[in-house]
Amino acid sequence: MAKHTLKTGAYSCPLIAAHQVGHSYGVEKFADDTYQSRGAMYNKLNPDNDSNHLYLRDAILLTEKANNDAILEAWCHQRGGVFVRLPDAVACDEELSDQLMRVSEELGAALGEVRAARSDGVIDPSEFETIKTRLMNTITEALALKTVIKGQVRDLPRHPSVVIGKS
């Protein structure tokens, strides 16, 4: 099996992620849960197998049963995006401050990687991958910040306003 992982431990290929999630959850248990043969499920979760294919409904059910977002994260990464879990509750001021600090930390780490990579005047492919991972982490935290801020949005009460006109 080819190595399809990011440096942060996340998977860059949804099929590799499905393989890992399926084996962590239990291939035979998942096959029994979905009333499919165990052999077919082993094949579906084998990214190098061309005879059986993991269907979208299987991937969704596996994600739910295993309570693991690795398949979603890998698919988002493959499509050039990020998966951001929305908070369960309304954020308070402290959560907003914490999230702002996380965005700042990630951006600082990304910019530090850029500075370090440019120290010899050249950014090599390995350094670029590190920078890209840090920037994706920054984007993830920025999207989480948007969600935290949205949780603090409230409708203002509507008061009739008095308009003073010119005489």
Instruction: Give residue-wise pLDDT tens across range 1-33.
Output: 444 444 345 677 999 999 999 999 999 999 999
Looking at the domain covering 14-78, what would its CATH class be? mainly alpha
pLDDT of 135 reads 92
If you average pLDDT over residues 77-104, what whole number do you get?
78
Q: Is the pTM of this model over 0.75?
A: no
Cβ proximity of 71 and 17 under 8 Å? yes
Whether the predicted pLDDT of 90 surpasses 60: no
Token digits of residue 90: 């309304």
Burial 90-106 (b: 16+ CB within 10 A, else e): ebeeeeeeebeebbeeb
Where are the chain's structural domains? 14-78, 93-150
Q: Rounded CA gap, 51 and 161, in Å?
A: 69
